Amino acid sequence: MLAGAQLIAEGRDAAPPPAPPTAFLRANGARSEAEYKRRCRDQGRVMYHMHVGLSTWSATEVALAEVYVALFEKGHSVDRFGLALDRAMGVPESERHLAIKETGPRIGPHEWQRLGEAAPIQPHLGDYMIGFPAGFQNTLRALSAGVTTIGNVGQYTAYDLIGGSDEVLVTEETVRALAAIGALREHGALAHSNLEDGSATQASHFGAYVGWAALELYVVEELIGARLAHCFGNTIQSPECRAVVHFALDDLRRRDSIGPMVYGNTVDHRPGDRARNTAAVTAQLMCDIALQLRRPTGHAVNPVPLTEAERIPTAAEIVEVHLLAHEIEREVRKSPNAYDWPRLEQLGSMTAAYAIDFRDRALAVLGNDGVDVCDAAQVLLALRRTSMADLEGRVDLAAPAEIARLEPWKASHVRRLADRLDKSTPRLDGVRVVLAVLEVHDLVRDALARVLPRAGAEVILLGANSSIDGIARAAIEEDADAIVVGVYNGNALALGERIADGVSNEQWGGRIYMGGILNQDTGQSLPIDARPALEGLGVRCVDTVEELLGLLAQGQRSAAATRG
């Protein structure tokens, strides 16, 4: 691997000149996005973020204009949009056409310049940018188009292409990309990291979670020289925890934050349950808006559409939830001190202090392993190769009781789901199961990896960097009784077809089960329901983990009867 200093020099040298102001900056009389954020922060103005990503850029462009016009007519606006890109954007442009289509648009070489002109809304880019083989290439394209908030550093350690990628190449491209952003730092360029997308979300408590943020700040700011901002919130349900993370991250930055967005809590949403989803959005927005009024950090709040758990939301559904958000802001401003701010700020300060100790100990651990902790590439690669659980164990830093009890969603829900399933799971002695999720949404997979062996099953657990063909090979080579696959990226039918073809060629006699969000991006504006076609292939679509476990037990009895 090339030295970090060389990669930083190459990245800075390749950075484009500052782009002309986007439509958003022109409309708001700002020289840069950073200047605009500081202005809003200092004036106490709450900013708003929308996430969007229809099947094509053209359809997404139309949706952006529709949202802008509809909100403008109501006297409101949205400040920035994040693009939920197709995972194929992580593949170099010359190879992108070979990748399976998933949810979200692909930005063609001729389309980048349209990002900042689709509507007076500032573009943010995060998914499948930094942390992938095409990260440097995409970053240069984005900077040239006037996109000045680019991520997602969090995905470097947790996301991957289907089948995996060369981690040394990815590390080198990541350092170059961050250095290019650093070269335009004085013009407002900013790298961002969603802590929910990376190793931080695997932490056992929020002290270690913020400790990971401190490690990222050290690498990106002190070693590479770019400015980094953190976003968070996707899986943080508790207003208390949202507040503690908000204050702790701001304290890490010595209270000079210029943030991207605070993502909405998506884990409390349920398909079709409008009352529940509205309650979840309201609770989250009340907290996030109150935090921005109490201590503005430049983050925009993100109202999550009520259909988020079902499919990609339409423009009308985005408008609906933004109008709700503005009404909630009006109500929050009536009682800005409804929360126990002194206690929450004290917890945030304690968490930030713990995080700094965690960072220093983690760097010492890496140094003892022979990592040059002054070389950005070496530190990043070492962190990519280290699980959060291993790092916490080696850092061996007990958290104060007040912090230790603040448990992130994934840790608590894997444990709770596994404990709940243990009470009802039938015996599965001798059942052999290939268990896979080819991306980061792996909570159910991790719970099943605990529950199935305790019920007597044998589990062949595949990592997120496994290939589609590798799932079929594993089932055949391990003589598995079942393949269980979780799908969340709009590629359910494509995955099902490849897996079914792979096992049918070898006359494998097991069953394939799929769960999650079972839709398929076909190039239309919204994905289609893949369930009918999957069932036609012989793939059993399951809605709940309990249903899956029952089907595995049923299959066990059928196999035993056949053998008998």
- Residues 459-494: pLDDT tens digits? 888 877 778 888 888 888 888 899 998 887 778 888
pLDDT above 70 covers a percentage of the chain that reads: 97
Residue 372 has pLDDT above 50, yes or no: yes
374 falls within a domain:
no
Tokens of 245: 């993370």
Q: Are residues 338 and 484 in the same domain?
A: no
Q: Are residues 444 and 321 in the same domain?
A: no
Q: Are residues 278 and 418 in the same domain?
A: no
CA–CA separation, 461 vs 446, rounded Å? 9
Dump pLDDT digits (tens) for 180-204: 999 999 999 999 999 999 899 889 9
Please identify, among 344, 370, 391, the residue that sits at the C-terminal boundary of a domain: 344
Q: Are residues 315 and 433 in the same domain?
A: no
Q: What is the pLDDT of residue 493?
A: 85
At 557, which CATH number? Answer: 3.40.50.280
Please identify, among 284, 314, 344, the residue that sits at the C-terminal boundary of a domain: 344
Closest among 490, 487, 499, 497 to 542, alpha carbons compared:
487
62 falls within a domain:
yes
367 falls within a domain:
no
Q: Are residues 323 and 430 in the same domain?
A: no
Q: Are residues 290 and 421 in the same domain?
A: no
| 3-class DSSP state of 461 | strand
CA–CA separation, 110 vs 114, rounded Å? 8
Identity at 491, one-letter amino acid code:
N
491 falls within a domain:
yes
Residue 559 has pLDDT above 60, yes or no: no
Q: From residue 501, how far is each of 246, 506, 538 by CA, in Å?
A: 48, 9, 11
At 273, which CATH number? Answer: 3.20.20.240
Closest among 184, 174, 246 to 210, alpha carbons compared:
246
Asked whether the beta carbons of 489 and 442 are under 8 A apart, the reply is no
Residue 561 has pLDDT above 60, yes or no: no
CA–CA separation, 541 vs 305, rounded Å? 25
Specify the range with the lowest mean pLDDT, choosing from 84-93, 278-287, 315-324, 449-458.
449-458
352 falls within a domain:
no
Q: Once rounded to an integer, what is the mean pLDDT over residues 222-240?
A: 95
pLDDT above 90 covers a percentage of the chain that reads: 63
CA–CA separation, 162 vs 437, rounded Å? 10
CB atoms within 10 A of CB 506: 12
Domain assignment of residue 45, given as a range: 4-344
Q: Are residues 338 and 435 in the same domain?
A: no
Q: Are residues 338 and 433 in the same domain?
A: no
Helices 492-504, 468-477: crossing angle, 10 deg rounding: 40
Q: Are residues 89 and 166 in the same domain?
A: yes
Instruction: Determine the Cα angle at 390 with ends 386 and 391, to 5°.
Output: 75
Tokens of 130: 């930094």
Comparing 15 with 432, the larger pLDDT belongs to: 15
Label residue 563 by pLDDT band (50, 70, 90). Answer: very low
CA–CA separation, 102 vs 438, rounded Å? 12
User: What does pLDDT average to over the chain?
Assistant: 91
Closest among 336, 225, 296 to 38, alpha carbons compared:
296
Label residue 440 by pLDDT band (50, 70, 90). Answer: low
**Pairing of β 528-529 and β 519-520:** antiparallel
307 falls within a domain:
yes
Count up the domains in the chain and report the number.
2
- Cα 294 to its chain centre, rounded Å, is 27
Find the helix or strand (DSSP H, E) in which 274 lies.
helix 274-294
223 falls within a domain:
yes
Q: What is the pLDDT of residue 505?
A: 74
Q: Are residues 442 and 320 in the same domain?
A: no
Report pTM. Answer: 0.85
Q: Are residues 317 and 441 in the same domain?
A: no
**Pairing of β 261-262 and β 122-125:** unpaired
CA–CA separation, 465 vs 89, rounded Å? 16
Please identify, among 310, 328, 344, the residue that sits at the C-terminal boundary of a domain: 344
CA–CA separation, 60 vs 220, rounded Å? 31
Dump pLDDT digits (tens) for 97-116: 988 888 889 999 999 999 99
Torsion angle, CA of 37/43/44/48, rounded to 10 degrees? -40
365 falls within a domain:
no
| Residue carrying the six token digits 């039938």 | 426
Q: Are residues 474 and 331 in the same domain?
A: no
Q: What is the pLDDT of residue 564?
A: 47
